[in-house]
Amino acid sequence: MPHLAWQKSSFSTGGEGECVELAASAPTRLHLRESDRPEEVALVAPRALAALLDAVKDGGAGR
């Protein structure tokens, strides 16, 4: 895997290692991970992540 510049969520709890991190390796490829499990990385397309976030904000995720 290429070197990735990970960015923590603005909702991070701080030093406890309980946050979501995001990195981009290409305009069409995002990497997501939990800071306390950095070896487990999910790849997602930006449009798919945007759709998920919109659904969560609207309360429609998991229905």
Question: Domain residue spans in the chain?
Answer: 7-58
Higher pLDDT, 42 or 1: 42
Whole-prediction pTM: 0.73
Per the prediction, the chain carries an average pLDDT of: 84
Give yes or no for residue 8 having a pLDDT over 70.
yes
Give yes or no for residue 1 having a pLDDT over 60.
no
CA distance 41 to 35: 10
**How would you classify the pairing of strands 20-26 and 7-8?**
antiparallel
